[in-house]
Amino acid sequence: MNKFNYRISLLITLMGISISVSAQKKQKPNPLKEAVIASVDSRFEELTDVSDRIWSFEEIAFQETQSAAALSDYAESLGFKVTRGVAEIPTAFVAEYGSGKPIIGILGEFDALPGLSQNTVPYKSPLHEGAPGHGCGHNLFGTASLGAAAAIKDLIEKGEIQGTVRFYGTPAEEKFFGKLWMVREGLFDDVDVVMDWHPAAETKTAVQKGLALVDFQVEFYGQAAHASADPWNGRSTGDALELYTTGINYYREHIKPTVRIHYHIQDAGKVVNVVPDYSRIWVRVRDSSREGLIPVWKRVEAMAEGAAIMANVDYKVSLISGVHEVLVNRTGSAALQKNLESLGPITYTEEEQEFAKKIQEATGKPQIGLVSKIEPMEETAEHSMGGSTDVGDVSWVVPTIRLSATTAPNGTPWHSWAVVASSGMSIGHKGMAYAAKALSMTMVDLFQNPELVENVKAEFKEKKGDYVYKGFVPDGPPPINSNLQD
């Protein structure tokens, strides 16, 4: 063998050794991550039972008595110290295990949406006509997060990691944004990092900001009169309401594409032959950032005065609540992404895929079934659209790492019967278990790697800058027993 061929042969051999060593390093499992995966698997039947019970309770914002009890009682049975009724909210609670730093929190929602009750069948079929349903999959949300917290608790209990894991039972995300009062109460002030996830139609790290939002109520007060005999003696709050919504709708032409305005007329009078002396409307304004939101919000509020003047009635504007856009943490998201890739995609049976295709057929979507792949980590858009969440407010007081996990078929209309159907059967259950594993694996990284925690916190501090968080929340207690529940 000549010198040249010898060198080539040696180089190939060394490269082979290097690749082999690299592959071995890559394939070498983390025993603590294997342990949390096993923990979730061992509790799968228990977690499914909790999730299905919450699904069946069908409880809406601030009324989730049975749902909160299902989660908090289960946490207590696992050895967590549970504090119920925090932040003046009967259905909010905190479950904690361990001591000292780091303190890693995880969020769990469990409220349903009005009017979406549904059986676990791939066509519209209410379980209880007119009742609520889990059209956002929150029965899975809170349960998976508690499953992840329990897996970490097991490691702390065995002395394999040190620190504190804290589960937050957070009610009323769909209507009032219960986390706002929990933030105001200071319940997140000592936390190092918070984990969060949400049911979805795909599996990926959640690195979009969503929309900032504000909710307010406008009430009009007038004078009742007979609508035919002496309408000139009346001052119609119905007129004020129509003038107000007309103003809002004409304003839509002159707002930026990132803005959304919604309203719900709650009271427009009782009968046709009476000039109404009272009307009420719930108004919601969104934008991709709180800076863009505020001037639009104030403009829409001011229109109420104009409507009241034109109708010759009195009016009152009351802040309900509002949320910030999410402060995305890409450092933490990158750690989560690695765990998703390590776990691989969720696998589905032929029956589950057929169920998914029937839902897609029923909702007019392409019949492609469930998407089973790990999406790459996206760039964070400057103006990301979509929904809003009170997780945004948590993310402005503590670094927050977020996940989306598949619990419903691709293209499924969210906040619909189709999500309720999927959330109460095996498709949802698989997404729940997957989320619990991915979240707990990432929490293992945070507990094992202090440098990762510091890097996550450094990005948070840099992105937050000098902004001092102030929530869009009125003074006083949460609106648990107000006319806002009507």
| Helices assigned H by DSSP within 28-173 | 31-42, 44-57, 65-77, 138-157
Q: Give alpha helix (H) positions in 363-425.
A: 391-395, 417-423
Q: Is the pTM of this model over 0.85?
A: yes
- pLDDT recorded at residue 485: 59
- Report pLDDT for 28: 76
* Alpha-carbon 157 to chain mean position: 29
CB-based burial, 185-215: b 16+ in 10 Å, e otherwise = eebbeebbbbbbbbbbbebbbbbbbbbbbbb
Burial class (CB in 10 A: 0-12, 13-18, 19+), 343: middle
| 10-residue mean pLDDT series, the chain (486 residues) | 48 46 56 98 98 97 97 98 98 98 98 97 95 97 98 98 98 96 98 98 96 97 96 97 98 96 96 97 96 96 98 98 97 98 97 98 96 92 91 98 97 95 98 98 98 98 96 94 66
- Structural element, H or E, at residue 205: strand 204-205
C-alpha 171/C-alpha 92 separation (Å) is 6
Q: What is the pLDDT of residue 29?
A: 81
Tokens of 121: 């069948």
Residue from 32, 339, 30 nearest 159 by CA: 32
What's the count of helices (H) and strands (E) in the chain, helices before strands?
A: 14, 13
CA–CA separation, 259 vs 251, rounded Å?
11
In order, the DSSP letters of 339-358 are HHHHH-PPP--HHHHHHHHH
Phi first, then psi: what are they for 170, rounded to 5°? Answer: -115, 105
Q: Name the nearest CA neighbour of 210 among 172, 185, 171, 173.
A: 173
Q: What pLDDT score does 14 carry?
A: 46
